[in-house]
A and B are shown apart, each in its own frame.
Chain A
Amino acid sequence: MPWPQQRRLLGTKVQRLDGADKSTGRAKYSYDINRPRQCHARILRCPHAHARIKSIDTTVAERTPGFKSIHMVAKPGDELYFAGAELLGIAADTEEHAEDALRAIRVEYEPLPHHVKEAEALRSKGSTVGGGAEAANVTPAGDYSTDNFEQNAYRDAAAVHEAEYGVAIISHQCLETHGLVAQWDEKQENLTVWASTQAVPNTAQQLAQYFKIPATRVKCITHYMGGGFGSKFGPDIQGQIAAELAKKAAQPVKLMLDRAEEVTVGGMRPSAYGKVKIAANKEGLIQAFEVDCYGSPGVGRGATVNFNLLPYVYVNVPHIKRKHQAVRLNLQTARAMRAPGHPQNCLLTEQAIDDLAAKLNVNPIQMRLRNLPPNDQDAIKNAPTTYLALRHTIYTQQIDLVRKMSDWDRKWHPPGQGNGPIKTGLGIALHTWGGSGRGPNPTKITIGADGSVLCQSSTQDLGTAQRTVAAIIVAEILGLDPKDIMVEVGESQHGPSTPSGGSTTCPGTSPAILKAAENARDAFFAAIAPRMNVEVADLEIAPGHVVNKKANQRIPWRQACARLGMNPVQATGDWPTNAQLQQNKELRDLWTTRLSNQGVGGVQIAEVRVDTETGVVRCTNVWAVQDVGLVVNKLGCESQAAGGVVMGVNYALYEECIYDKNSGRLVNPDMEFYKLAGIRDMPQIHVHMMDMPERGVIGIGEPPTISTAAAVGNAIFNAIGVRVPFAPFTPERVLAALARPQGGAR
């Protein structure tokens, strides 16, 4: 069952099936669900960055009009570690009444010391995030060095560059906030939730575990989803609260976070700041890469960069030394955000490389071509369609393409050249991502006697056009039009499916859908062949038809289906189990290197215009070339790639969670002082998808957002000749960089 050699639909541009419903507001998102007798809930949150609760008085609140139920999650004596931490939830008949009830609660706190600034916490002793007397805010998150680094690293250096780079904490800012509607049945035994989630079955499962009830008693529905970007993998605490409140009120409860809550607790991409020292020999080959970096995962733990991928992409640098520290702060825990760690890695690596290239007087494109990692010899032999085996080839082709698309050779100038106050510049950066999928993703296909085709699975469509992906594959195999396929996703009762994170959905589901479609076709042939007095082998699919090769007869699809009589045909398809994949190399190669795959490369060039009098940067163009293995839907792929670029430009120029040092609170939990660009602020985006069908399907969600910010940073450097070290590259920071004594990056 490899992918069809002749592709009628795969790789073409297919409009998303649910486009009309979404654009006319008919698509119902979780936020839009209104159940009969539905109540509304709000959460009371701690206003202090660190505090102990002295007392909570809810008596007045419980007497306010419309009050329905209350659920406590914190109690007097508890210590809370960030502003926004949950105390309790309240449900009332209307949202207005829920707000009133919340306001009527009195809480006394004992404020405790906090840290919300990385640099300060880095110098501090002790802990403001709990953990006992021995604990500290700063924890080691990685320490590595190649052998004899000190002796060898800078021996052959023709140029050494040392500087600081970094990027602030940002928020996912999903337009549909986190939350759900929870409804118990009359007996209070079965729970249904309409949740905004990237993991439909997991959300149901986690709630079942929380309530200690059988998993079959919880159903999660997510027909439409208004953005997640890595921040929505379960019911979260607000989901538990909503379900508790619904149970206590014996009425359905809707609990969606408001915008301030969404930005304060709905997820963030952690910061990363670091000193980088990089050296190259006179051929321009990078010899040493040294990085000492830190970042904040908020009150959570863990690295904020992808530690093993520093330097990023250029992994064959011989001498590497890296150190990373996690600086825990009194603010929400970091969550996975579109390519976790990678944009940070890319900024730390690619900007340093450009600064080094400038010292060496080498064109940034040359610098990259010289330092690309080679195709891995072992991989070429054993796994020839993998990233390892192809990376040099892929990047070389991509650089060549993007260079032509952007007219680099004509437009590029040495850093800082150009007359007048408005400077233009070009910058380049490379990225990589895994993007492999796995099972279980069981998919069921039903072919009806009326010719209708239904494809069902529990996977979710986050805006990735997943429904359309399924329809394309099924239609390709059955010779139909994608519009002929009815696709149902986003309901947990359709069985297990993998969460949509890390660009895994398309590669995780597509092979299973292919298998299901082929099984359905075979079952269909098996059912109709006897009735047509032919062998199964005599039948084949042609567009819109079933062909009886023996009689050289083309039967229109519906007519062929009519032969099914009363009984529709059903078939399922899914991945082999992990054990099967492990034991059987042939099977493994088929499913993980031909039907799907992992590891992509991408290259982006950004063009900027910098006003050196105001410091305002405009990104005018971005050219993006992306490998994604086999393209299923070219239209959807291009959309996601362009969307990734938009997110990257926002990251580079506008976004930042700003915390007030004294109160420890986020000062911009909104969409006006937390900047997100509108259409007029955005560059023209030119996407080129590389189609490499022999590689199989690989995910596209993460990669195209990774290198944009670094490309923009490099373009600014190219324009003004000085490095703006920290993103977002705001007018203030650009002006500060320009005001530094000349001499390029500091």
Chain B
Amino acid sequence: MSSSKDSPKSGLSRRDFLRAGGAAATSVTGLAGATLETQAQPGQPPASHIPVLGPGPAKISLNVNGREMSTAVEPRVTLLDALRNYLDVTGCKRVCDRGTCGACTVMLEGKPVYSCSMLAVEAQGKAIRTAESLVDGGKLDPVPEKFVQFDAQQCGFCTPGFVVAMRAVLDRNPKATPEDVEQGLQGNICRCGTYEQMRDAIYSLCNRPRRS
């Protein structure tokens, strides 16, 4: 990697970074330092097939709801923060920022993932879908539609995450039972307590009667 690719803004050259990293590693364990060195010896270019990014911003391109969007982020930026802070896609919410609450759930190639727990650079080349994709003009996808019908949202801050997770379950298994859907929502938390109304929505989506 040529030094011209280093971000002038970062104020920390790649060489500084490696030196600091190496020093820290030696002081902790020799093994970690060794790993670093096999990947990139100071002063020597790394193997050409390993892309090296950072620490300054790197150009990335993300496919969000069918649109290519590009920006430049430091490699440490999560997919969630790239979407929210750099691309103004704010349907996915930052709540716990460490993979517990599900508010940041997006679909990556159809699979629900916690976007706070994945780096933006890793999501390149994959189809990302957020809650914003579940409405087309005035036409609502059945999942958010049922959320509205049964009032399965109060403050609504958790809702896009639940909606995406629920959409993902039903996409994978259109015949999912209410139990299957609830299973798929285990990684989401709602503080306002909309679970009861969510169950109404789930039963309706699964075409099952609820209560007599």
Q: Which residues of A contact B (CB under 8 A)?
A: 15-16, 18-20, 22-29, 31-32, 34, 40, 64-66, 94-96, 173-177, 224-227, 229, 258-259, 462-465, 635-636, 638-640, 642-647, 670-672, 676-680, 682, 684-685, 687
Contact = CB atoms under 8 A, between A and B. Distances in A.
Given A65-B11, A258-B97, 14 more contacts: A19-B147, A19-B153, A20-B144, A22-B160, A23-B148, A23-B160, A23-B163, A462-B155, A463-B154, A642-B194, A644-B193, A647-B193, A680-B182, A680-B186
Contacts of A176: 93, 95, 155, 157
30 contacts: A15-B148, A16-B153, A19-B147, A22-B153, A22-B159, A24-B134, A26-B91, A29-B157, A32-B93, A34-B84, A94-B85, A96-B77, A175-B155, A175-B191, A224-B155, A227-B191, A258-B97, A462-B155, A463-B154, A463-B192, A639-B154, A643-B194, A646-B195, A670-B96, A670-B98, A671-B189, A672-B96, A680-B182, A680-B185, A684-B196
Interface of B: 9-12, 74, 76-77, 81, 84-85, 88, 90-98, 100-101, 103, 130-132, 134-135, 140-141, 143-145, 147-149, 151, 153-160, 163, 182-183, 185-199
Given A15-B149, A670-B100, A23 B155 contact: no
B185 to A, nearest CB: 5
Contact of B192 (A26, A227, A258, A679): A227
A682 B101 contact: no
Q: Which of B147, B189, B199 has the most CB of A within 10 A?
A: B189
Of the candidates B76, B145, B190, the one having the most CB atoms from chain A within 10 angstroms of its own CB is B190
A629 to B, nearest CB: 20
A25 B191 CA distance: 17
A464 B84 CA distance: 26
B160 A676 contact: no
A16 B131 CA distance: 18
A672 B81 CA distance: 21
B93 A643 contact: no
Contacts of B153: 16, 19, 22-23, 463
Given A24-B135, A25-B132, A259 B9 contact: no
- Report which residue of B9, B131, B156, B160 has the largest number of chain A beta carbons within 10 angstroms of its beta carbon: B156
Contact of A24 (B85, B91, B94, B191): B91
A25 B92 CA distance: 7
B83 to A, nearest CB: 10
B204 to A, nearest CB: 14
Nearest to B146: A23
Contacts, number: 193
A95 B148 CA distance: 34
B91 A25 contact: yes
Contacts of B92: 25
B212 to A, nearest CB: 12
A175 B158 CA distance: 7
Contacts of A640: 154
Contact of B156 (A31, A229, A463, A672): A463
A735 B96 CA distance: 31
A639 B197 CA distance: 7
B154 to A, nearest CB: 4
Q: Which 3 A-B pairs have the closest CB atoms?
A: A25-B91, A646-B193, A463-B155
A253 to B, nearest CB: 13
A23 B93 contact: no
A671 B151 contact: no
A16 B150 CA distance: 10
Given A19-B147, A64-B11, A679 B186 contact: yes
Nearest to A173: B191
B42 to A, nearest CB: 22
B121 to A, nearest CB: 14
A174 B191 contact: yes
Given A66-B9, A670-B100, A19 B155 contact: no
B185 A175 contact: no
Nearest to A462: B155
Nearest to B145: A20
B164 to A, nearest CB: 9
B101 A96 contact: no
Contacts of B94: 31
A95 B81 CA distance: 9
Contact of A685 (B11, B81, B196): B196
B154 A20 contact: no
Contacts of B197: 638-639, 642
A640 B132 CA distance: 26
Give the most central of A25, A175, A687: most B CB within 10 Å: A25
A298 B155 CA distance: 27
Most chain A CB within 10 A, of B135, B157, B182, is at B157
A20 B96 contact: no
A226 B156 contact: yes
Contact of B151 (A16, A65, A676): A16
Contacts of B132: 24-26
Given A15-B148, A25-B160, A28-B90, A676 B74 contact: no
Nearest to A256: B94
Contacts of B195: 642, 646, 678-679, 682, 685
Contact of A26 (B135, B141, B147, B185): B135
A23 B132 CA distance: 9
Given A15-B149, A25-B92, A676-B191, A34 B85 contact: yes
Given A96-B77, A259-B95, A16 B155 contact: no
Nearest to A647: B193
A31 B93 contact: yes
Contacts of A644: 193
B156 A671 contact: no
B206 to A, nearest CB: 14
Contact of B186 (A20, A95, A678): A678
A635 B196 CA distance: 12
A643 B149 CA distance: 17
Contact of A25 (B131, B151, B186): B131
A175 B182 contact: no
B113 to A, nearest CB: 16
A19 B151 contact: yes
A175 B81 contact: no
B96 A25 contact: no
Contacts of B149: 15
B189 A65 contact: no
B7 to A, nearest CB: 9
Contacts of B140: 20, 24
A393 B79 CA distance: 57
A302 B6 CA distance: 56
Nearest to B159: A23
A259, A645, A687: residue with the most chain B Cβ atoms closer than 10 Å: A259
B96 A678 contact: no
A387 B198 CA distance: 33
B151 A24 contact: no
B208 to A, nearest CB: 14
A672 B114 CA distance: 14
Given A19-B147, A20-B140, A23-B148, A642 B196 contact: yes
A548 to B, nearest CB: 35
A676 B189 contact: yes
Contacts of B194: 639, 642-643, 646
Nearest to B88: A34
Contact of B185 (A226, A259, A678): A678
A175 B144 contact: no
A26 B160 CA distance: 9
Given A24-B160, A678-B189, A225 B131 contact: no
A671 B148 contact: no
Contact of A639 (B12, B88, B151): B151
Nearest to B149: A15
A684 B203 CA distance: 13
Contacts of B198: 679
B130 A175 contact: no
